[in-house]
Amino acid sequence: MATRKLSEVVINAIADAVPEFIGGSADLTGSNLTRWKTAKDFQANDSGIGDYSGRYFHYGVREHAMAAAMNGMQAYGGLIPFGAGFLTFIGYCLGSVRLSALTKQQVIYVMTHDSIGVGEDGPTHQPIETYAVLRSHPNINVIRPADGNEVSAAYLQAFTSKTTPSVLCFTRQNVPHLEGSSIEKALKGGYVLQDEPNAQIIFAATGSEVSLCVEAAKLLKQEGIASRVVSLPCLSTFDAQSQEYRDQVLPKGIPILSVEAASTFGWAKYAHKSIGIDTFGMSAPANQVFEHFGLVPTEVAKKAKDLIAEFPSMKL
């Protein structure tokens, strides 16, 4: 199931229980899947299509205005506003995103179509540089969950982060449920998803690329190479953990390969080498786009072996 669909499941489970949860989408409700089954639209009482007791907004193609309104509603008090769109279009919101972080507003940006997995929509809709831009902001949690447990953790973190905005990044394409994932572990921002004794390589990944690393690890195991797979749904939360915990997850002395279908900018903080995309994307079916950029298990496994071979001579 796509994580945007898993997000819809979570929203439907919590919306009636959390009446202060209020928001909508910038003309992409059908794609963002943010309108819950019992939702009533916020409209004029005499409109015939909703009333002023409604909690769901149809913002139209007004991303910046939507984000600004979210900040205003949260600053007024008593509400937890959310706004939705495609992740690449959060670029239109950046002035308000910065203000969310600067003024410590608990707002939730629900952003779907989070990578080259949007496929034929092409470079205009593929958020290559977006993660690096968002993560560069102080006081913001950019959360990219890999499966259902991590989606649940993302919402739990967003609902309990009272002075920090959250950007939740969800896939268009389906992802598998991952053995080893849990809400509790995901709330640490990063954790060991799968491991083997005497691992020779560590994969560090986010979102849909975590399952890609799981498959690459299986290929390496067939060749007698042990590996560890680390899921890092929220780098800022992982950075806030103790040094001891971070060293347990990403220990020194073992080569670390990061894998994310986006710019590699910033990953040098965590990994010795990075697989990513440092150009704009391309228009093709999603599986072809991933193959074009080498984001397939065979290529990831090959680059892992290259890093293992290179690691002893690397200047660290």
| pLDDT (0 to 100) of residue 313 | 84
Query: What's 185-313's CATH class?
Result: alpha beta
- Sheet containing 191-194: give its strands across: 191-194, 227-231, 201-205, 256-259, 273-275
Active site residues: 63
| pLDDT (0 to 100) of residue 315 | 63
| pLDDT (0 to 100) of residue 231 | 98
Q: Whole-angstrom Cα distance, residue 236 to residue 306?
A: 29
What fold is seen in the domain 3-169?
Answer: Rossmann fold (3.40.50)
Low-confidence stretches of the chain (pLDDT < 50) are: none
Same CATH fold, 185-313 and 3-169? yes
Query: What residues does each domain of the chain span?
Result: 3-169, 185-313
Buried b (16+ CB within 10 A) or exposed e, 133-169: bbbebebbbbbbbbbbbbbbbbbbbbbebeebbbbbb
